[in-house]
């Protein structure tokens, strides 16, 4: 894999993680309005994914070029 594709994958992971954060906040907002337990669970899971993997998109690859 070349350096450009690795950079592209990191950018894509960062975008997906930001999307998870936005969807999580929106689901928590829907929970506060509608008191639907489903929105609380999904929102918490989305924010959890962002919390635990937010640094993953910035980690440099340790693979050496062949």
The model's pTM: 0.77
Instruction: Compute the half-sphere exposure of residue 18: CA atoms within 13 Å on the CB side of its CA.
Output: 7
Q: What is the pLDDT of residue 64?
A: 45
The residue ranges of every structural domain in the chain are 3-55
Banded pLDDT at 24 (limits 50, 70, 90):
very high
Q: What is the pLDDT of residue 5?
A: 84
């Amino acid at each position: 894999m070349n350096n450009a594709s690795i950079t592209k994958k990191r950018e894509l992971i960062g975008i997906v993680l930001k999307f998870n954060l936005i969807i999580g906040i929106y689901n928590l907002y829907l929970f506060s309005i509608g008191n639907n337990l489903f929105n609380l669970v999904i929102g918490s899971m989305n924010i959890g994914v962002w919390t635990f993997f937010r640094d993953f998109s910035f980690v440099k690859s340790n693979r050496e070029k062949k």
